[in-house]
Chain A
Amino acid sequence: MEAYIGIDVGSVTTKFAVVDKDGELISHIYLLTQGKPVQMVQQGLTQIKQQLPKEVDICGVATTGSARYLAGVIVGADLVKNEITSHAVATLRHIPEVQTIVEIGGQDSKIIIIRDGIVTDFGMNTVCAAGTGSFLDHQALRLDMSIEEFANQALDSKTPVRIAGRCTVFAESDMIHKQQMGHHIKDILYGLCQALVRNYLNNVGLGKDIRPPVVFQGGVAFNRAIVKALQEELNTEIIVPPHHELMGAIGAALLAHEEMVSSNNGSKFKGFEASEEKYHISSFECKACPNLCEIAQISINGQVLARWGGRCDLWERSPSN
């Protein structure tokens, strides 16, 4: 059986999706990246291998997410794609009539505008990570509750309080202030959800023509309180697709399929053995010019596979020496 793997290595989680030649999801894995992308990609490969039936033949691999280049070198990817295209491709397959995709992940949030099945506009959060998964995690941790409990409590709220959502620093001090004034935790939590949604729409969604159907995906879509807040703010139904957290990986797998069909070349996939190789990552400061770029390199048995991080092509051009 032909199968294609998509790997989405995000800042917080690493996702694997395997689809067959009809684009149906066969197998998937959801792991926490824990700041160790190389190990997690290898671990994911091992687990995927165990899950897949024996007769599966991997015909193509694509990587996406912020560590896409790194992951691509490890597994021998046929395609390295950005997250926006991957997400759009996956969503269009499941919900072809979609016009707006809201994606909120661990570190970044995006909006993708689609008309007639084509991406026409997109936006990403700029430097600020306010309103992404990491901040919600941090707040749940501070209040000593799990993120599931956070969502449940927030959903209970009847009279949410107003929280300043412009900046996480202000949001946190505002939350503490409201807490000390004697407001219920559940009202503060839902107030925070509303603030994050407002912040998202005002920053990432600024000037975008948001039209239904709106699809919400990414890890934060697990949080039903955020879904509810988004629904209230946009005043339209929000679709959270099944496997919404895997959309990037599924999209990458679909793109791998597309790429292999059009290119007619064999896959560059290194096989599941890549999970047992010892990769060595190191970095150094390039002294060729005053920019002092930090060059990262990944090597195997002393042989350099790839280098990146430079402002010029000096190191990227010559991985062999």
Chain B
Amino acid sequence: MWKTFFEELGAEVVVSPPTTQVMVSEGSSRVVADTCLPVKVFLGHVLSLVDKCDYIFIPAVRSVKSKIYNCSKFLGLPDMTKAVIPESPPILDIEIDVNKGKRHLYQAIYKLGRHFTWNPFKVRQASLAAWQAHLKYRQLMSSQGLTPPQAIAKMTGEVELKAPTSTQATIALIGHPYILYDEHISHRLIHRLEQADNKVLTPEMLTTEELESATTRLVGKAHWTYEDEVVGAGVHYLETRVDGVIGLMTFGCGPDSQMMDMVHRRAAKLRATTFMSLTLEEHTTEGGVVTRLEAFLDMINRRKRRQIEVCV
């Protein structure tokens, strides 16, 4: 969406490359050890862009839903970046806060567009195009079951997706996209699951309505922004009886640890779907993740085999 917006305004967009070990360590070196892993990774990405562009776009996403505010790390991202990466190119920071009303949002977008053009109509056109791109992206994921990286690849026409072959089990992953789709942080979890012939479902494949109603069923009104990705998706997949649900979170995230616990309790109550949560941090070795994943899949497959035997 933002890529379309900037390109419509005639700017060239540079996106940071996939996370590497170097990015994680450089990002970590800029902040105190207690900072959560996603922020360290984020700063690593900013550092990788320092010499490559004239501006870095870092919105301060305060809220995207009524009366639900975002994690303080998100609110302060532009300011934090300015403080710890002084060599960074100028930062385009806008405040996105739907609680301040539509007018505030429009003003923020025009303010952003002003860096590239004086013509407000052009900004308007660019934002409409961006919104269309976003809708198409959402639609690709929820109707065709694509993951965000796949949806983006399809929109930019980069690769032809191969159809999934036979499947052992259907595994749903829940967690924030910045953890699930970061192959470095998640130790290629999706890839590993697919290699073992499993069908992988993620939160983005559900519609907003499905997510919201599932969250409401468990906790009533959501407390945190992006709670739907964990609680909503978790509850939805547990109730629709997929074979297994894996919750992915990073160490040190307060809301995540509570949300995962709620999903865990729900899973224990329903007793139909196997649930496992994996906590990742920068020192996590692949061995630990692989062993747990193997044991988890064995558990599901042995259980399925037993059920078939019972039926026969």
Contact = CB atoms under 8 A, between A and B. Distances in A.
A50 B274 CA distance: 44
Given A291-B184, A311-B184, A311-B286, A122 B20 contact: no
A209 B269 CA distance: 12
Interface string B165-195: 0000000000000000001100110000000
B274 A120 contact: yes
B164 interface: no
Interface of B: 20-23, 183-184, 187-188, 261, 264, 268, 274, 279, 281, 283-284, 286-288, 291-292, 294-295, 298-299, 302-303, 306
B306 A124 contact: no
Contacts of B286: 311
A38 B23 CA distance: 35
A126 interface: yes
A84 B291 CA distance: 8
Q: State the majority secondary structure of interface residues on B.
A: helix
A82 B22 contact: no
Contacts of B268: 207, 209
Contacts of B21: 290-292
Closest 3 CB pairs of A and B: A84-B295, A82-B294, A290-B20
Contacts of A290: 20-23
Nearest to B20: A290
Chain A, interface residues (CB within 8 Å), range: 20 to 34
Contacts of B20: 289-291
A69 to B, nearest CB: 9
Contact of B188 (A81, A121, A292, A311): A311
A124 B299 contact: no
Contacts of B295: 82-85, 119, 122
Nearest to A116: B306
A291 B21 CA distance: 5
Contacts of B306: 117-118
Contact of B298 (A84, A124, A291): A84
Contacts of B288: 124, 126
B283 A127 contact: yes
A66 interface: yes
Identify the interface centre among A117, A122, A209: most chain B CB within 10 Å of its CB: A122
Contacts of B298: 81-82, 84-85, 119
Given A82-B294, A82-B295, A118 B303 contact: yes
B188 A120 contact: no
Nearest to A255: B298
Contacts of A66: 287, 291
Identify the interface centre among B281, B287, B291, B303: most chain A CB within 10 Å of its CB: B291
Interface string A174-217: 00000000000000000000000000000000010100000000
A141 B248 CA distance: 39
Contact of B291 (A82, A126, A289): A82
Nearest to A309: B286
Nearest to B48: A290
A120 B291 contact: no
A117 B305 CA distance: 12
A82 B295 CA distance: 6
